[in-house]
A = this chain, B = another copy of it.
Amino acid sequence: MPAESATSSPVRQPVAGQNQQPEIHLSHRWKWSSQQAISFLMQQGVENPDVISLAAGLVDPASLPVAETRQAVQELLAVPARGRQALQYGTTAGVEPLRRQLVQHLARLENVEPDSLGITPQQIVVTTGSQQLLSVLSEILFDPGDICLVAAPTYFVYLGVLEGVGARAVPVQTDNDGMRMDDLERQLGLLEQAGELDRVRMIYVVSSYENPSGVSLSADRREQLVEISRRWSRENRILVLEDAAYRELRYDGPELPSVWSFDRDRSSVILAQTFSKSFAPGLRVGFGVLPQELVAPFCDRKGNEDFGSASFCQHLLAQVLAQGQYQSHVEEVRRACRIKRDALLQAAEQYLAPLEGVSWLQPHGGLYVWATVPEHISTGFDSPLFQHAVQQTGVMYVPGELFYAGEPAGRRRCQMRLSFGVEEPDTIREGIRRLAESIRAITSYQSVTSYQSVTS
């Protein structure tokens, strides 16, 4: 059984063809993949192009590396034999030059020598963005009804991936240090009591600057997480999937060791990363470091899906990493995103702080600020606030309820994710001003109508 859908958008049903042709029968897999909130969000963006988007989770478009890419392609295609290699099929797991560069890249991020990493390029798989890593991994690990523990809140698109394979997402409480380890143990205990411990396959965690909360898992908890996953691995191994998509977007605060670094024998933690935030999403290059015995099963499934991701993009990125243009580009992305984060936080101080019951977290990195409005104001797609923001003041956010697994009734409905990646600083400030205006409008309307909903 899939978890409940994370969106309140209307169900899209296939329609019958022309000429009285009977309906096309669609699979359960399709049903589990449909009604994803991200489709509804993208549609809202298309239908309301003049709205300021504090919704899209993209990096600064102005910083996309056109010059760096042009130079790398020139080098790559300068020697015909090498150019032909880049235009040929690669292997399903990814092309060798990139996988070798990724060992160096990881060593830099982990602050160790490549030889001390304890992995070979053969443990690295390259995917079409880290999204495909999350998807293929879920395909090979979860049968319908299997369980994944997730933070509450967590990355809503991964909740959709879990739905897509019919898995159950069990929420674990969080605080300002990320997923709470005491609640993780409590949830595992409850599952054990229910006789379902053998259905637990994985614990999913966005370790740095979590999407949506911006919170990072503390160093202590990173070590504990690995220890807990091992201690509760009885009949089956409980893996940890560390989604480190944002680790390179650090603006201040401490640099934390990865969860993966605490998995000494590289048997329990899967590390997922991407170049979509730090370089260019259009290349669609993500990668994962897998326990050795998962590599072949992963490639079995990925081979069935696509024979391997675009080798041209992989060779291109290997060239970028080898030439050293990458580091300076990431510095530039950080600089640009930090300015935008500061713009959002300053605007929040100016426009949101005066509103009663409105608060937000201050992230040290990533792309998101997590805000909470008074409990009686709902932020969902069908709420008066969302409608007012999109249609009256002209600003869009992502409703907080999308980021919670489990029954809709149990989700907090008074939160929102505000992204600062896409818009320019002045536009971000204007967006927050508009949001404050909408919150004020809904608050005063609701107090007039004794907190009754304005929609009926």
Contact = CB atoms under 8 A, between A and B. Distances in A.
Contact of A65 (B64, B87, B305): B87
Interface in A63-77: 64-66, 69-70, 73-74, 77
Interface stretch (A16-24, A217-225, A337-345, A363-371): A16-24
Contact of A267 (B18, B70, B135): B18
A132 B305 contact: yes
Contacts of A140: 26-27, 29-30, 33
Interface residues of A, number: 98
Interface string A1-39: 000000000001011111101111111111001111011
A14 B128 contact: no
B89 A282 contact: yes
A77 B206 CA distance: 34
Interface string A262-289: 0001011000000010001111110000
A304 interface: yes
A15 B291 CA distance: 11
B306 A21 contact: no
A18 B131 contact: no
Given A12-B296, A22-B234, A64-B83, 6 more contacts: A22-B237, A24-B237, A66-B84, A89-B276, A128-B306, A161-B304
B281 A19 contact: no
A35 to B, nearest CB: 8
B267 A17 contact: yes
Contacts of A268: 17, 21
A272 B325 CA distance: 38
A312 to B, nearest CB: 4
Closest 7 CB pairs of A and B: A66-B83, A17-B267, A87-B280, A30-B140, A87-B282, A284-B310, A282-B311
Contact of A309 (B141, B165, B267, B284): B284
A214 interface: no
A16 to B, nearest CB: 8
A164 B280 CA distance: 32
A88 interface: yes
A311 B284 contact: yes
Contacts of A315: 282
A189 interface: no
B14 A293 contact: yes
From A61, A87, A142, A294, residue with most partner B Cβ within 10 Å: A87
A307 B89 contact: no
Given A297-B26, A311-B284, A77 B86 contact: no
A346 interface: no
Contact of A141 (B27, B36, B88): B27
A405 interface: no
A424 to B, nearest CB: 14
B66 A297 contact: no
Contacts of A394: none
Nearest to A16: B293
A128 B310 contact: yes
Contacts of A236: 22-25
Nearest to A301: B33
26 contacts: A21-B267, A21-B268, A22-B236, A24-B239, A24-B294, A25-B201, A27-B143, A30-B141, A30-B297, A33-B300, A36-B300, A39-B303, A62-B84, A66-B84, A87-B280, A89-B276, A128-B306, A131-B305, A131-B307, A135-B304, A281-B311, A282-B310, A282-B311, A283-B310, A284-B306, A284-B312
Contacts of A304: 33, 36, 135, 160-161, 164
A103 interface: no
Given A80-B66, A284-B308, A58 B132 contact: no
A199 to B, nearest CB: 9
Contacts of A284: 306-312
A393 interface: no
